[in-house]
Structure 1
Amino acid sequence: MDPTLVGTTATVAERGGIRVPWRFIVGRAAFYLFTAWAAITINFFLPRMMKGDAVDAYMARSQGQLPPEAEKALRALFGLDKSVPLWQQYFDYWGRLLHGDLGLSISTGMAPVGQAIASALPWTLGLVGVATIISFLVGTVLGAVIGWRRGGRLDALVPVTTFMGTVPYFWLGLIFIAVFSTIMGWFPAGHAYEVGVETGWNTEFIGQVISHAALPVITIVIASIGGWVLGMRNMMLTVLDEDYITVAQAKGMPNKRVLWRYAARNAVLPQIQSFALALGFIVGGTIVMEMVFSYPGIGLLLLSATNAKDYALMQGIFLVLVLAVLVANILADIAYAILDPRTRQTEA
Structure 2
Amino acid sequence: MTATTLAPGGPVQAAGKAAGRRGGRRSRILLRRIGFYLGTAAVAITLNFVIPRLMPGDPASVILTKMGQKEQISPATEASIRALFGMPDTSLWQQYLDYLGQLAHLDFGTSITYFPTPVSTVISQGLPWTLGLVTLTTVLAFLLGTGLGILAGSRPGSRFDSVMAPLATFLGSMPYFWVATMMLLLLSVSVPVFPSQNGYDLALEPGLTPEFIGSVITYGTLPAITIIVSSVGGWLLGMRNMMITTVAEDYVSLAEAKGLSRWRVLLSYAARNAMLPQVASLAISIGSVVGGSLLAEAVFQYPGVGFLFYQAVINLDYPLMQALFLAISLSVLCANFIADSVYVFLDPRTREDA
**TM-score bracket for this pair, using the shorter chain length:** 0.7 to 0.9
In structure 1, give the amino acid aligned to 2:312. A
Residue 119 of structure 2: aligned partner: 113
In structure 1, give the amino acid aligned to 2:284. L
The alignment yields a C-alpha RMSD, in angstroms, of: 2.8
CA gap of 1:272–1:247, structure 2 versus 1, over 3 A, is: same
Pick the aligned partner of 1:26 from 12, 28, 31: 31
Cα deviations across residues 171-195 of structure 1 (Å, max 9, x unaligned)? 2222222222223322111211122
In structure 2, C-alpha distance between the alignment counterparts of 1:171 and 1:281, rounded to whole Å? 16
Within a 5 Å distance, the mapping from 1:270-285 to structure 2 comes to: 270-280=277-287, 282-284=289-291
Where structure 1 has 5 or more consecutive residues not aligned to the other structure, the ranges are 1-11
Q: TM-score, normalising length from structure 1? A: 0.85
Residue 9 of structure 1: aligned partner: none
CA gap of 1:41–1:28, structure 2 versus 1, over 3 A, is: same
Give the drift of 1:311. 3.5
CA contact (8 A) 1:75 1:81 kept: no
CA contact (8 A) 2:145 2:236 kept: yes
Q: What SS does the aligned partner of 1:78 have?
A: helix
CA contact (8 A) 1:302 1:314 kept: yes
Pick the aligned partner of 1:288 from 282, 286, 295: 295
Residue 163 of structure 1: aligned partner: 170
CA contact (8 A) 1:164 1:226 kept: yes
More displaced stretch, 248-257 vs 132-141: 248-257
| Identity across matched positions, percent | 46
CA contact (8 A) 1:187 1:212 kept: yes
Cα deviations across residues 28-85 of structure 1 (Å, max 9, x unaligned)? 221121111111111111233234526415525867x999xx7998653412322222
Q: TM-score, normalising length from structure 2? A: 0.84
Cα deviations across residues 171-230 of structure 1 (Å, max 9, x unaligned)? 222222222222332211121112211111111111000001111111221122111111
Residue 41 of structure 1: aligned partner: 46
In structure 2, give the amino acid aligned to 1:236. M
Aligned length: 333
Q: What SS does the aligned partner of 2:107 have?
A: coil
Residue 323 of structure 2: aligned partner: 316
In structure 1, C-alpha distance between the alignment counterparts of 2:325 and 2:37, rounded to whole Å? 16
Pick the aligned partner of 1:150 from 143, 151, 156: 156
Within a 5 Å distance, the mapping from 1:144-223 to structure 2 comes to: 144-155=150-161, 156-223=163-230
Larger relative contact order (Cα-Cα within 8 Å, sequence gap ≥ 6): 1
Q: Does 1:229 align with 2:236?
A: yes
In structure 2, C-alpha distance between the alignment counterparts of 1:167 and 1:40, rounded to whole Å? 32
CA gap of 1:22–1:224, structure 2 versus 1, over 3 A, is: closer
CA contact (8 A) 2:67 2:115 kept: no
In structure 1, give the amino acid aligned to 2:39. F
Cα deviations across residues 139-171 of structure 1 (Å, max 9, x unaligned)? 111111100022222111221232133233222
In structure 1, C-alpha distance between the alignment counterparts of 2:61 and 2:144, rounded to whole Å? 47
In structure 2, C-alpha distance between the alignment counterparts of 1:232 and 1:87, rounded to whole Å? 49
In structure 2, give the amino acid aligned to 1:273. A
Cα deviations across residues 61-111 of structure 1 (Å, max 9, x unaligned)? 867x999xx799865341232222222211111122223333332332132
CA gap of 1:98–1:72, structure 2 versus 1, over 3 A, is: closer
Cα deviations across residues 244-268 of structure 1 (Å, max 9, x unaligned)? 2222222222222221222112222
Residue 81 of structure 2: aligned partner: 78
CA gap of 1:14–1:315, structure 2 versus 1, over 3 A, is: farther
More displaced stretch, 111-120 vs 76-85: 76-85
CA contact (8 A) 2:30 2:341 kept: no
In structure 1, give the amino acid aligned to 2:148. L
In structure 1, C-alpha distance between the alignment counterparts of 2:71 and 2:305, rounded to whole Å? 31
CA contact (8 A) 1:55 1:75 kept: no
Q: What SS does the aligned partner of 1:107 have?
A: coil
CA contact (8 A) 1:54 1:311 kept: no
Q: What SS does the aligned partner of 1:188 have?
A: coil
Where structure 2 has 5 or more consecutive residues not aligned to the other structure, the ranges are 1-13
